[in-house]
Structure 1
Amino acid sequence: MKTVLSTKILSPSQKELFLNSGLGLVEYNALQIEFLDVTIALHYQNYIFTSKNAVKAFLRHSKKIDTSDYKAFCVGEKTKVILEENGLKVIKNTENASDLGDFIVKNHQNEEFLFLCGNIRRAELPEVLSKNNIRYTEIETYKTHLVHRKFNRLFDGLLFFSPSGIKSYTKENSISEQMLFCIGNTTATEAKKHTDQIIIANKPTVENVLVQAIKYFKKHD
């Protein structure tokens, strides 16, 4: 039986989708999130979120207030869903941070933003905003810790959901002949440092990464 390693613990429904396909699955969390004890200013109108964890950090601070007045600009479908579920109005959702920066520059030039991020956020968005004189304040709301774990076996496929996940895995393990399944282009760029055996999900969701792996191994059974 072909076995795949997921660098993220899957939800029961995600796991079921995978195991019903006849593939073996090993899973662990390659990353651990630590929320920081910071004060998030709640007087801004516009908030930028590039991850679900940034939204979670914001919600820890804003439980007692009406969030419907806030405007959110975000990256990723899952980030959008969690914002809307908690009453925030999503003005714009894009697949990557560069596109979000371009949208803000074109449409919200004279407004002010609070950008909530983690300690290893990518540079594209702040660079676009700074270059175009958009007024924004950046606040680090969580830290991502790499969880190093050694596996004394070779997996047929590896599932990666962020560049940090790849960095975490490769601290203790090497990538050889396995096929890598990546959630998006940013993750794939990191993967290319180790191999060209890469398949990128059609949509940046965990489910689509799983679907790509299932399709690939069915075809190569």
Structure 2
Amino acid sequence: MKKVVLFKSTSEDYRKVCEDNNYEAIFVEPLEFIFINLQELCEKLKLADYHGIILTSPRAVEAISKCWSPSKYNIWNSKRIYTVGEASGHKIKLMLGLESLGLETGNAENLAKLITSENPVPSKFLFPCGNLRSEVLPNILKRSGIEVDPLTVYETKENNSLRENLMDLNNNVNPCCMVFFSPSGCEYVYRQLQTFNNKLSNLPHFAIGNSTAHKIENLGVEIAGVASRPRADTLIETVRDYFTSLDKSQKKL
């Protein structure tokens, strides 16, 4: 069974889909998160002048959950909650008890288009986010006349165990490919790979989303495939198609 390195926290969804397609998922978390500005977040959640909230990462949902009380913040039951993927949507339902929109959009540009199509101008949205957030979504919304109120609620840093985990992958695991889930994850992984001789840099690299793919390319590495949506089935289809095409090409030689 081929081993696929997923640079993310452990996910049973991804593990199961990999196993169902005869791949073994190896999870390596390149990031650590520190939550900040939670008191300010709690105060903003009390305000009634927002039309909704935009939560583009599971960490943003986790930040809200740290001060969340359904009775205290019941105004959000009648407001629009937008997210970009199913992982965040699941956390919103589980941790906050709220339904969310945009789960199938897959990226910031598509989510921004959905928000602009469903809301009047002017509208105002709270945007809890990380310190390394992309400006793609807020810029599109602002150009469309929708106000975004960003608040940094978590900071991203390199996982202290990353170098050790990468060396173990290189020396003991023998994976067939690597999958990256965020631009910051790419940066931290490659910062460590440059510190020792490794075989990992030569493996096929896959990305979740275009922003992560662009980061990999900026590091001078060729992309083997890009999953259009942050879903386990979409990713494994991308990986499977690559290796199927590779096998066909090698048979022709």
TM-score by length of 1: 0.82
Secondary structure, in 3 states, of the residue corresponding to 2:91?
A: helix
> For 1:164-175, what aligned pairs fall within 5 Å after superposition?
164-173=184-193
> Which range moved further: 123-132 or 211-220?
211-220
Quote the offset at 1:206 in angstroms.
Answer: 3.5
Aligned to 2:206, the other structure's residue is in SS state: strand
**Alignment partners' CA distance in 1, 2:7 and 2:181:** 7
The structural deviation recorded for 1:26 is 3.7
Once the two structures are TM-superposed, the CA of residue 214 in structure 1 deviates from its matched residue by 4.9
Q: 2:209 aligns with which of 176, 184, 198?
A: 184
Q: Distance in 1 between matches of 2:68 and 2:205?
A: 39
**Match in the other structure for 1:161:** 181
Partner of 1:115: 127
Distance 1:27 1:81, change over 3 A: closer
| Residue in 2 that maps onto 1:75 | 84
Identity of aligned residues (%): 26
CA distance 1:87–1:27, shift in 2 (3 Å): closer
Aligned partners of 1:149, 1:98: CA distance in 2, in Å? 33
Give how far 1:182 is off: 1.5
The answer for the alignment partner of 1:204 in structure 2 is 230
Task: Report the equivalent of 1:57.
Answer: 63
Distance in 1 between the 2:15 and 2:116 partners?
Answer: 40
Partner amino acid, structure 2, of 1:15: R
AA of the residue aligned to 1:134: I
Large movers: runs of 4+ above 4 Å: 19-25, 214-221
Q: Does 1:100 find its partner at 2:111? A: yes
Q: CA deviation at 1:72?
A: 0.9
Unaligned runs of 5+ in 1: none
Q: Which moved more, 1:182-191 or 1:80-89?
A: 80-89
Q: After the TM superposition, which of the residue ranges 191-200 and 15-24 deviates more from structure 2?
A: 15-24
Report how far residue 115 of structure 1 moved.
1.0
Superposition CA RMSD, Å: 2.8
1:70-103 CA distances to partner (integer Å, 9 max, x unpaired)? 3212222322333344332434442222233334
Question: What is the rounded CA distance, in whole Å, between the counterparts of 1:11 and 1:91 in structure 2?
Answer: 22
Q: Counterpart amino acid of 2:230?
A: P
Structure whose alpha-carbon radius of gyration is higher: 2
What do the CA deviations read for 1:164-189 (whole angstroms, capped 9, x no partner)?
11111101115632111222222111
TM-score by length of 2: 0.73
Aligned length, in residue pairs: 221
Structure whose residues are more often helix by fraction? 2
For 2:77, give the aligned amino acid. Answer: S
Please state how far the C-alpha of 1:220 moved relative to its aligned partner: 5.3
Structure 2 unaligned spans of 5+: 195-199, 248-253
Give 1:16 shift: 4.6
CA deviation after TM superposition for structure 1 residue 33, in Å: 1.8
Are 1:146 and 2:158 counterparts?
yes
Which deviates the most, 181-190 or 82-91? 82-91
- Tell me how far 1:129 sits from its aligned partner: 2.9
Alpha-carbon offset, residue 59 of structure 1: 2.4
